């Protein structure tokens, strides 16, 4: 798949970072959306719905763009070798990163925050890349457990650190909207690799850093 060219405009911490990877324009589902509208009892030809199939198509191209994005492309150029890092116990923690994903059982959003920590082994990653990496895996059909693991595993592969910790806290609209119960419940998942798994002290330090 050909990548679209990034725009030249810059935004601080925004979505138009020149190194962002862009979704395809279409995933070809407009005719299917039109059929859904008919099946649920709507009139796809009424004014308010005329452009809906095309809009939904573009929205889904964006929401599932993670399928077309290689995590390595996202972090490309932002991996730095620090000779002194890794000789001490400097934990890197990025907390409260917002994410939005889609549950694979209902294709309805779940969303929340993700906290990432790692103990470098010489290689460090530009901090702005961690939210990008999260988006690569969030913009797919997911279950929260796998999303958490994939983020941790990709950091492990890319940085070869001494350990990685990822904690995700999310609300699932498939539970809230369908009134299953516990409308305000938050689901927490975690993936602890390397020293975060082996050392309770390291794990607890991370968990206390992401609290509050």
Q: How far apart are CA 134 and CA 132, in angstroms?
A: 5
172 is catalytic: yes
Contacts of 151 (CB under 8 A, 6+ apart): 114, 116, 133, 134, 137, 166, 191
User: Of 73, 152, 67, 75, which Cα lies nearest the Cα of 101?
Assistant: 67
Q: Which is nearer to Zn ion, 156 or 174 (CB)?
A: 174
Q: Check 106, 153, 176, 205 and give the catalytic one.
A: 106
Task: State the DSSP H helix or E strand holding residue 119, giving kind and residue range, or none if neither.
Answer: strand 109-119
CB of 107 to Zn ion, least distance (A): 8
47 is catalytic: no
103 is catalytic: yes
CB of 100 to Zn ion, least distance (A): 14
Structure tokens given for 198: 């082996």
- Location of structure tokens 């395809």: 24
88 is catalytic: no
Q: Check 90, 105, 183, 201 and give the catalytic one.
A: 105
CB of 57 to Zn ion, least distance (A): 22
| Interface residues toward Zn ion, by CB under 5 A | 103, 105-106, 174
Q: Which is nearer to Zn ion, 51 or 105 (CB)?
A: 105
Q: Check 104, 145, 183, 201 and give the catalytic one.
A: 104
User: Of 140, 129, 76, 66, which Cα lies nearest the Cα of 103?
Assistant: 140
Q: Which residues are catalytic?
A: 103-106, 144, 172, 174
């Amino acid at each position: 798949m050909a990548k679209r060219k990034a725009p030249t405009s810059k935004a601080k911490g925004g979505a138009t970072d020149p190194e962002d990877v862009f979704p395809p324009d279409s995933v070809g589902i407009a005719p299917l959306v039109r059929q859904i509208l008919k099946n649920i009892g709507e009139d796809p030809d009424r004014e308010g719905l005329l452009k809906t199939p095309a809009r939904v198509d573009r929205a889904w191209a964006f929401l599932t763009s993670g399928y077309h994005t290689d995590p390595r492309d996202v972090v490309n150029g932002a991996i730095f070798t620090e000779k002194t890092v890794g000789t001490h116990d400097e934990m890197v923690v990025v907390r409260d990163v917002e994410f939005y994903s889609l549950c694979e059982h209902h294709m309805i959003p779940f969303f929340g925050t993700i906290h990432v920590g790692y103990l470098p082994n010489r290689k460090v990653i530009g901090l702005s890349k961690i939210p990008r990496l999260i988006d690569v895996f969030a913009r797919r059909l997911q279950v929260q457990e796998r999303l958490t693991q994939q983020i941790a595993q990709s950091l492990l592969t890319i940085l070869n650190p001494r350990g990685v910790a990822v904690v995700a806290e999310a609300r699932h609209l498939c539970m809230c909207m369908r009134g299953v119960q516990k409308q305000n419940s938050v689901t927490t998942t975690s993936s602890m690799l390397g020293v975060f798994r082996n050392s309770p002290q390291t794990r607890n330090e991370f968990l206390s850093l992401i609290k509050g």
